Structure 1
Amino acid sequence: MARVQMDRSGEMEVFVRVVREGGFSAAARTLDLTPSAVSKLVARLEARLGARLLTRTTRALTLTDEGRGYLQAAERALRALDDADQAVGSGTVRGRLVINASVPFGTHVLAPALPAFLARHPDLTIDLSLTDDVVNLLAQKADLAFRVGTLPDSALVARKLGQSRRVICAAPDYLARHGTPRTPADLAQHNCLGFNFRRSRVGWPFREDGREVEVQVAGTLLVNNGETLRQMALAGIGLARLSHWHVVDAIGRGDLVPVLEAYNPGDLETVNAVYVGGGQVPRRVRAFIDHMVDVVAAAPLFVGG
């Protein structure tokens, strides 16, 4: 029978940390080890595997082909070990939770919900990235993502948190200079700000004379995330169509003014938590989803979780 090697997971963790932190010294600081100790552990790992994992220069560390393959396998193994510990643990939520969210939802809903969750789970580290791009959870090594809008078909598991209607709005200064649109047709004379990525609808929908119509709009600015679009509307550049939860505070302060509400079709934008299915869902993922379900349910701007 092969000899049991008791220290393999420790070597894996050190190697993964070196790659994540970009060097031996940075990894040593996070592991409370000396740089020489980290270097020796990586060298011992390479000797055991019989392969060079890292190419070292005075300026940088570069993964070899063998190193890239081992990194992916090591991250999967460490995550499985963490999941196994949590599956039989005392109920403590621990480890590293990698989250991806859209910029608006992450800024206005998710981030304010983090302090209370971290206070309840001090053994957990959250790694949060905000982008309106739809990321590949496996490629980005993310545990969980929060996505707003229609979900593409995929193997991911989705849990609906809530829905919110959309609203067209503009700054009072813009409306003072260009007038307030009274009908959807008036938008042809207005600067309608939009997104530079593909959406399920190209135009803006309205309900007019009892039927839904879609009006093609155009403007001088396209952006890649809703938060920038909101900021540009606040700056008086033009009209923007955004989720109600995203602009309700600005509307309440009078910084933005809703327009064409009589033609609002009432379409709802859904917020979902998505994660990779199959097997045991890690306790840290389940706990954070449950936390966000409660956060969204308590917000009057969302409906139908």
Structure 2
Amino acid sequence: MLHAIVPLIPEFSRRFPLIQLELNTDEVVIDLLEQQTDIAIRIGELRDSTLHARSLGNSKLRLVASPAYLAECGEPESVADLVANHRLLGFCNLEQHNIWPIWRSEGELLHIKPTISASSGETLRQLAVNGMGIVRISDFLSREDVASGRLVPVLESQTHEMRHPIHAVYYRNSTLSARISCFLDYLAEQFASNTLL
């Protein structure tokens, strides 16, 4: 989410100069109370029902690889070819992101076994750009690389579009502090009016 969040921070700081921000850029799910964190951005289905959530939108996911990888290994012609003959890049800490919606048969999902795993989408993007394999990542991470030709979509006809919901999650006692409310409103405004996703 760094690609989407970090560019929003300067304007927020100009609007609200007295609000101090501390960004934790780990891509692991944390306990907000234990880590003394006000807000976390979560991609995917929410599991913790004790949290309040504000929807920010949906993240489109796509399969991409670098032209160098495709020149070396060839473009996968089918799902069977993808699984049998290609290096797949996946998450080591978010197993649900290693389930790819690919048409193997009606309604079947592909549980991949990554050749290389990483804990962040940004790391996986860089691995793909550097020719290490095929990855399924959010459009906001791959958009610039696809536009510039550093990454190329693959198997588009055999994947159905999948989107993961994006939420800002927080604990709410009886009242929401003004600074948290300001940041939540700002995020919702920016995600709604911007081409972040």
Structure 2 length-normalised TM: 0.93
**Contact 1:212/1:265, CA 8 A, preserved across alignment:** no
Q: CA deviation at 1:182?
A: 1.8
Judging changes above 3 Å, is the alpha-carbon distance between structure 1 residues 278 and 108 closer, same or farther for their aligned structure 2 residues?
same
Q: Does 1:207 align with 2:103?
A: yes
What residue in structure 1 maps to residue 21 of structure 2? Answer: 126
Equivalent-residue separation in structure 2 for 1:256 and 1:154 (angstroms): 37
Q: How many residues align?
A: 196
* 1:280 aligned to which of 175, 178, 186: 175
**Identity over aligned pairs, percent:** 35
* 2:86 aligned to which of 168, 183, 190: 190
Q: CA deviation at 1:198?
A: 4.1
Equivalent-residue separation in structure 2 for 1:189 and 1:126 (angstroms): 45
| Structure 1 ranges of 4+ moved more than 4 A | none
Deviation per CA, 1:4-46: give whole Å up to 9, x if none. Answer: xxxxxxxxxxxxxxxxxxxxxxxxxxxxxxxxxxxxxxxxxxx
* 2:146 aligned to which of 247, 251, 254: 251
Larger RCO, structures 1/2 (Cα 8 Å, 6+ apart):
2
* 1:159 aligned to which of 54, 59, 62: 54
Unaligned runs of 5+ in 2: none
Unaligned runs of 5+ in 1: 1-104
RMSD: 1.5
Equivalent-residue separation in structure 2 for 1:160 and 1:292 (angstroms): 10
Q: Does 1:217 align with 2:112?
A: yes
**Contact 1:191/1:218, CA 8 A, preserved across alignment:** no
Which one has a bigger Cα radius of gyration? 1
Structure 1 length-normalised TM: 0.61
Equivalent-residue separation in structure 2 for 1:125 and 1:203 (angstroms): 38
Q: CA deviation at 1:123?
A: 1.2
Q: Secondary structure at the match of 1:154?
A: coil
Q: Secondary structure at the match of 1:186?
A: helix
User: Following superposition of structure 1 onto structure 2, how do residues 96-135 of structure 1 map, counting pairs within 5 Å?
Assistant: 105=1, 107-135=2-30
Deviation per CA, 1:210-236: give whole Å up to 9, x if none. Answer: x22223433431111111011100110
